[in-house]
Structure 1
Amino acid sequence: SVIESVKIAKQKNLAMVAGFCWRYDYAKRAVFGKILDGSIGDVRAVYGTYLTGPVKPMPKAETRPAGMSDLEWMTRNWYNFTWLSGDGLVEQAIHTVDWMMWAMQDKPPVKCTATGGRQIPANGGNIFDHISVAYEWEKGVRGFIAQRQITGCYGENSFYALGTKGNAYISRGAFTTDLNGERNWKYEGPTPDMYQVEHDELFASIRAGKPINNGDRMVTSTMAGIMGRMAGYTGLEITWDMALNSKELLAPQDLRDWNGKVEVPPLAMPGRTKFS
């Protein structure tokens, strides 16, 4: 498993850098530093969005080249299948989920509920085009994630943390406010490319003999996204332990035959799709 791989990497002193690139963005580091150092007090709730259009819409079946196998067709249109992309919440909006987990000190949520579905008919595939998840931590702390991939709608990729002393925002900048909404801090430092920073710090850690391994938080953020999808697909309240111990298998049973027949599971239907 990925969890076991993270442990082995630590034992062998190997680097493991997750693709959660915003953790290497200077402005984001600064505002989350404010959240984590108590500048806004105790975090009571967070709200994150990833509202955008379709990433890679499923093409019409008649555009499929003659002789192309099911697996190749799926692989070329990977975003539209849960076993390849994980759904938009787990593939794209997972970065917003990671912001939430960052603000929560990477502590797993206790449970979550979700609503979602596919509003716009697709040419195939089996992913939702919208989902909203409500997470809960100990002491009643809440986290809310809204994800949508529908053309012609309002777009936003923002994050808000609400504390007992003030609030923090990532929306056209990174800043904090007091409880009356008055800004009391704004990031105005350098803004190097976060991808370059990510690589620079990785290489520097290896050269120093102290390789970065942020696999634990990678696992936690990804699992939080997965449990949100599970809640949305089944309509159930999903606990962290349920998700972590789930026997769900999204991938086809046999992938050894590239040219074999692969059945696509139907689109999930909350209340009918079973948790496993």
Structure 2
Amino acid sequence: MENIKRRDFIKSSTAVVGATALASSSVGKVFAAGTDVIKIALVGCGGRGTGAAFDALNSGQNVQLVAMADAFKDNLDSTYNTLKEKFGDKINVPDSRKYVGFDAYKAAIKDADVVLLVTPPGFRPAHFEEAVNQGKHVFMEKAVAADIPGVRRVLAAAEIAKKKKLNVVVGLQRRYQANYRETIKRIHDGSIGDVVSGQVYWNSGGVWVRPRKPGQTEMEYQMRNWYYFNWLCGDHIVEQHVHNIDIANWVKGKYPVSIQGTGSRAHRTGKEYGEIYDNFALEMTYDDGSVVYSQCRHFEGIPNRVDEQFQATKGRAYVSANGQGILWDAKGKEIFRHDPKGNPNPYQQEHKELFEAIAKGEYKFENAEYGAYSSLTGIIGRIACYTGEVISWDRALKSNIDLMPELLSWDAKPKILPNADGFYPVAIPGHDVAKYI
């Protein structure tokens, strides 16, 4: 990871001032195996937050949900009702520990031993920083940031989490999926030689849209439709395609030195799709000259593809989320095939391993760093496509483009606003490059 210049990257952020203060906070409780209740707080009560709570409560340990936080009361109430119906007494969240608003996370984190951070990615750096400040173990969803200053904050807090021996798991669940673990271990052991190229894909039909309602402020509308605004989501190359980008980095054991690519809004062009693109194609170049091609798109009515493949000096590999993992030698002979039946649910597995370690008082997980760098890879890819330029890793590290609003309140204005016709500005390669890097 020499090419990352990690120390300089973190030091260049003002978040280090906060991170220094974090070092003085107390370490979270160490649990005796199977004897104490592990109290969890859920920060972010959307669909993925509900799923993360399910997985934590089904982890096999003595886990109890004691606090919840969300910007929207209706989200919190819906998730509470779903969890209470399913888990009964494991849900111990009286009204006094249901926190609503932009700052609700601070109080919820205080009540718990472990926090689940499952809001839109733009909020993740501040929430992770606060959790580490309060000395809590963390599960946080991908992506871990939506812009480069946010990545800096995560990396700074991650350094303090290590010093405090706080377990941190990031929801890049393929890292916990048996077919990926077994196949990539064999790649790293040299079964197919040195990886020289690869292709990674997340091609699908896109996600939900929530229509604008009368009386909504612009802040509420963007929060409800967070997937379509970069300060919240980072674009789908960051929020979703980070999974596949992370596999490329995992297989290579390093991060790209430069990225170039192209993207556009080809089909999802309406005002309801905010500012994001609906397709990206990248070339990620690593320091050994190898190139991984990355493709993601939101096109409806055509075949989907979500998988990864790699070519090496002595063979090739294929892995996918549906449980496949295959290696071939240079002559095309199959030399390994993972049995999909031996593939526990990776969403459940990441929580199983995290809470088992916490229950035993073990310090095992430092996922924040690779989560941050793979998120950063996606962010650099977005910048490369938005600008039309080749973006080097070192150039990106210097960026101070902060997408977050100056003020978080329902009446505050986000940095991106619609025109008189309701359309948001969309990046045009070659134009306004300084806005993006």
More moved, 172-181 vs 39-48: 172-181
Q: Which residue of 2 aligns with 1:95?
A: 243
Q: Is the 8 A contact 1:40 1:167 kept in 2?
A: yes
Extract unaligned runs of 5+ from structure 1. Answer: none
Secondary structure in structure 2 of the residue aligned to 1:157: strand
Which one of the candidate residues 96, 112, 115 is aligned to 2:259? Answer: 112
* Greater alpha carbon shift after TM alignment, 42-51 vs 191-200: 191-200
Runs of at least 4 residues off by over 6 Å: none
Q: State yes or no: 1:267 paired with 2:415.
A: no
The one-character-per-residue Cα deviations of 1:251-272 (angstroms, maximum 9, x if unpaired) are 23332x3123444261111111
* Contact 1:129-1:149 at 8 Å conserved across structures: yes
AA aligned to 1:214 is N
Percent sequence identity is 34
Q: Give TM-score scaled by structure 2 length.
A: 0.60
Q: Residue 20 in 1 paired to residue 172 in 2?
A: yes
Distance in 2, Cα, partners of 1:38 & 1:211:
26
| CA deviation profile, 1:57-95 (whole Å, cap 9, x unmatched) | 4x5xxx422211111111111101111110010001110
Aligned length: 270
Q: Flag structure 2 segments of 5+ consecutive residues without an equivalent.
A: 1-152, 418-423
**Aligned equivalents of 1:4, 1:261: Cα separation in 2:** 28
2:295 aligns with one of 146, 149, 159: 146
2:328 pairs with 1:177: yes
> C-alpha distance in 1, partners of 2:255/2:329?
28
Instruction: Select the residue among 52, 75, 81 that pairs with 2:223.
Output: 75
Find the aligned partners of 2:406 and 2:246 in 1 and give their Cα distance. Answer: 30
Structure 2 equivalent of residue 235 of structure 1: 388
- AA partner of residue 52 (structure 1): S
Query: Does residue 205 of structure 1 match 2:361?
Result: no
2:345 is the alignment partner of 1:193 = yes
| Secondary structure of 2:306's aligned partner | coil
Q: Which has the higher contact order (CA 8 A, sep 6+)?
A: 1
Give distance in 1, aligned partners of 2:355 and 2:368.
16
Partner in structure 1 of residue 160 of structure 2: 8
SS of residue paired to 2:369: helix
Give the letter aligned to residue 352 of structure 2: D
One-letter code of the match for 2:387? Answer: T
**TM-score of the superposition, structure 1-length normalised?**
0.93
Q: Please point out which of 358, 372, 378 is paired with 1:219.
A: 372
1:130 to partner: Cα distance: 0.2
Rounded Cα–Cα distance in structure 2 between residues aligned with 1:196 and 1:66: 39
RMSD of equivalent CA atoms? 1.5
Report the 3-state secondary structure (helix = DSSP H, G, I; strand = E; otherwise coil) of the residue aligned with 1:198: helix
Pair member with larger Rg: 2
1:223, 1:244 within 8 Å by CA — same for their partners in 2? no
Map 1:120-139 onto structure 2 (within 5 A): 120=267, 121-124=269-272, 125-139=274-288
Distance in 2 separating the partners of 1:197 and 1:66:
43
1:191 shift after superposition: 1.2
Once the two structures are TM-superposed, the CA of residue 100 in structure 1 deviates from its matched residue by 0.5
SS class of match (2:232):
helix
**Deviation of 1:139 (Å):** 2.4
